[in-house]
Structure 1
Amino acid sequence: MFKKEEDFIENLNTIRRINTSFVIANKTIKTARNGKDYIEFSLTDKTGEITARMFPNRDADEIYENIVKKSIYTITGNVDEFPRNSGNFSIKIDSFQKMEEDEYDLDDYIRTSHKNQDELINEINRTIMQMNNPHLKNLLETFFGDEKFTEEFYNAPSAKIHHHNYLGGLLEHTVEVLLICKKASEIFPQLDQDLLYTGAILHDVGKLKAYDYDLVCIDISNEGRLLDHLFISCDMVKEKIRDNQIEIPEDILTNLLHIMLSHHGDVQNGWGSPVSPKTPEAVALHHADNLDAKVRGIIQKMK
């Protein structure tokens, strides 16, 4: 059964009745002000994500336990806007039914980047080829000469919720950050371009291990929850250097790891960086990453 165009999440922007299907990406039991339990859901399809709530008269725990995450359900309910005139729409669920595999088209639920993947990959390859620093160039060639790594890197999401949270999102985000860094280098030619571009390309590689994902759902892995992708990214760089016996001067490696560890900005911001940016390249990468994430996040919400 194909979804109707008006029933995709990007088109749920009017108050109305619906009977359509979604992936149940997440579920949580919460307690309302009246003391009664209700179930909150994150629903997805290929166009986005929306919050839904169900207020059962009884047995909320039993209903919750019987719902299979990462499965596709037919859902009946009302699209509502709260607060009124806020532009924030959610679904109040009356009933749902798990669908069998032969009852839906999986392509309606797979969230992927809409950008040309070949063009994104070529941008990274051109950047590596044009580098002058032999140590950083060798490091990147070792990463992207690994077929298993590149396959995962080109298909991975960049986040669970906030931005680029779809298959291919990591590649898209990486290239967007790289392009912003290239513009910054035109304005500030004093920047070490090879160091900055290497940081841009590798800053989020740890997300390959920080997220568990399949065709319809993204979640944070246990490793991602306990270590965070910033640490994992740096560990992957050090592991690649060690396993392939790559020669790289200590000062270059230290500066690269600093750029990667600090790309979420000042420690006092509480965004996850264990160290604040202290070099021009680290400051440039932080603002490039933040600009791309914030702008892309708003654009996704506007769709």
Structure 2
Amino acid sequence: MTTGPVTGAEDVPRDRALSDADTAELIDDVDALGGFFSLSTTLPDTPDLYSFARLYATPALVDARIETVRRRHEPAEARVAASIMFLGLAARLVSPALAAACRGALVELPATSLYRCGSQTGPERLHLAEARATVLDPSDPATAAAGLRRTVVEEHLRPLVAAVRGRVRVAERLLWGNAASAVGGAVWMLSRRWPRQADTAEAIADALIGSGPMAGLGTVEHPFPARPERFFARRSCCLFYRAPRGDMCGDCSLLDRAELAARWRAELAAS
């Protein structure tokens, strides 16, 4: 599958289902990006596999995931661990969905059919039991964002916010700021790995965070027009700086614009 809209996407209704073969090819292309984009359509045979629906409904699973993060950053406060945990899962949910949207497809991610392994840490591969996708027009960012709002924000991020806040006292605005940062991080990676999709990724992301619970919590930036890379500037804090060995993130709201630009230049130089 080429780095462009699904073949013929401009000629068909947006609700047309992709064939199984095209859906599999699309997911393989997204999965090949690695990291937060990793998505498999094969369920591993492991006893600690559970669906996201089960995660959202099971306090013990939420506690276990927060505790895993807390131990990694010990002695981090509970709310710091909860914030880091949320940001990691949000990035894993947002990234493959946005990548697929940039390629002209809306992948369905039912919480009952999307799985993770409880023992897995670090960048992990999510597993989708039923691979279904429909055609969308990536040149229509508002419609693409509306699709992502349904499949990611309402299906996953909203129940994840509720599940985390049900276990730890952490501000709702902080968590939605983390969600916006996850969108921005996905745009950054896509603009690097799929530079021809950089404009599309930015436009869809702007529409996605321009309204709803992420509105006003950050902006996608294109500070170096000669390069395709986009960055993100937050307007809320994730608290990572309060973790032992923590630091200010590359999109940190505590940094002024000059400091952010310096970090972005350094990141480009390092890459």
Q: Same fold (TM over 0.5)?
A: no
More strand by share: 1
Larger RCO (alpha carbons 8 Å, 6+ apart):
2
Larger Rg: 1
TM-score (norm 2): 0.31
